[in-house]
Amino acid sequence: MAVERVGMLQKKVGNCTFCPHNPIHLQVIPTGDGLLIEMQAKILIADDDVMVRTTVTKILEMFGHNVVTVSDGKGVVDAVDDSFDVIILDINMPDMDGFATISALNQLNYNIPVLFLTGAGSMDYAVKAINLGAYDFLTKPIEDLDIFNVKIRRAIEKRMYVLQERRYKESLEDDIQQKARQLEEQNRLLLRYSHSLENATIQLMSSFQNAMEEKDYYTAGHTMRVTEYAVMLGRAMGLAEQDMVILRRAAQFHDIGKLVIDLSCIQKPGKLTEDEWVLIRKHPSVGANIIEPLGFMDREQFIIRHHHERMDGSGYPDGLKGEELDELTRILIVVDSYDAMTSRRNYRKNMTKAEAVAELIKCSGSQFDASIVEVFSRSILDFIPTRSFFSQGYLEPAYNRRN
């Protein structure tokens, strides 16, 4: 009966239209009542009975499907790939039965709907197949082509949903990756802009500070020398590169608070009055207040504020002591004091290198960190200043002697 029905339907679909470029496409079948639309698919059949394979193949081809046949489970595993839309498996096959085959297919993860062929009275097998992941089952012999076709159509629809979901996920992943790349590019541009803004801000502040030092003959070059000493000492102490950047910046702007102090007070010959000292002693906190709004120099702000503190807590502005002062601040305290001692002022002569080092050692523990002074006293002996080191500032020509 099934073969006769196949012959009748083959006559009915003689003028069908195919769309070979799509994995699942539509077949338009002209009928007496109009057009019948059928989905076409690539279907893999596995059955050790050649008659069953031939019959099922003819039925499927009648509906426009592309059919590939194999005789056992191993043939399925060897032939299957992602191009198939439905797999029809016989349960009882030699060597590798239908259950073993579907287990192997599950490992391949193609997500192709599997229909099991079962004989009459083998419902237990059908239930087991469903539990293993089969989509549905077909009974042999195939007598009702309408039911057969409905089950094939549903399996194809299932495959369409799987492919659609896969494409959606792939599209979503592509969108996410594209958005991630866009965000990465935006972050890169923002970071570049931020760095440019930081650099521009630092250059502007440097210009202000240089302008101030050019007006003050006695402190000209102090910032540059303190920065070089700080870098020298930081390297000798093995500081991390990020700490070196922070230390260099803090040294560069440690006296920026003097911008708002009357220059006549800074340049005054002789000793300062108590009121003038109060004004001068404000420059660390004023400098920190200048740095604070920038938002990218928090650690530098702390160092600038506390570079006149002392290890015993008798410094200013906050009277911090010992470990309350971080390592970079304690470094700047040493090198700033050293440059002050070795630079000539209008009210006193500068110390020699040996005298200044001796003073640092003498005040270790009370004013200076003893371990930092120890490293500095060794490092300064081998210090080679840059060419611009003497171009500003009022230092003795014999400064570089090791005396």
pLDDT 10s digits, 229-255: 999 999 999 999 999 999 999 999 999
Alpha carbon distance 32, 14 (integer Å):
13
- The reply to whether 11 falls in a domain is yes
CATH of the domain at 263: 1.10.3210.10
374 domain residue, yes or no = yes
Question: Are 223 and 160 contained in the same domain?
Answer: no
pLDDT at 33: 47
Are residues 297 and 229 part of one domain? yes
Residue 9 lies in a domain: yes
**Same domain assignment for residues 239 and 153:** no
Residue 220: HSE in the Cβ half-sphere, 13 Å Cα cutoff = 14
Peptide bond into 385 cis (omega under 30): no
- Same domain for 368 and 226: yes
> How far, in Å, CA of 173 to CA of 118, rounded?
41
In a domain, 177, yes or no: no
Question: Per-residue confidence at 122, pLDDT binned at 50, 70, 90?
Answer: low
Q: What is the pLDDT of residue 307?
A: 97
- Does residue 183 lie in a domain region? no
Domain final position from 139, 168, 197: 168
Q: Phi and psi (nearest 5°) for 367?
A: -100, -35
**Same structural domain, 245 and 374:** yes
Backbone angles phi, psi at 114, to 5 degrees: -115, 130
On the question of pLDDT at 6 being above 50, the answer is no
Instruction: Report CA dihedral (225, 226, 228, 234) to the nearest 10 degrees.
Output: 160
Q: Are residues 151 and 215 in the same domain?
A: no
The answer, as to whether pTM is greater than 0.85, is: no
| pLDDT confidence band for 347 (50 / 70 / 90) | low
* 236 within a domain of the structure (yes/no): yes
131 plus 234 within the same structural domain = no
Q: Which residue has the higher pLDDT, 113 or 5?
A: 113
Specify the number of domains making up the chain: 2
- Partnered with residue 68 across adjacent β-strands are 44
Choose the final residue of a domain: 168, 187, 220: 168
Residues 163 and 212 in one domain: no
Domain that holds residue 118: 2-168
Average pLDDT over residues 135-161: 89
Q: How does pLDDT run across 154-202, given as a tens digit for each residue?
A: 999 999 998 889 888 888 888 899 988 888 888 888 888 777 777 777 7
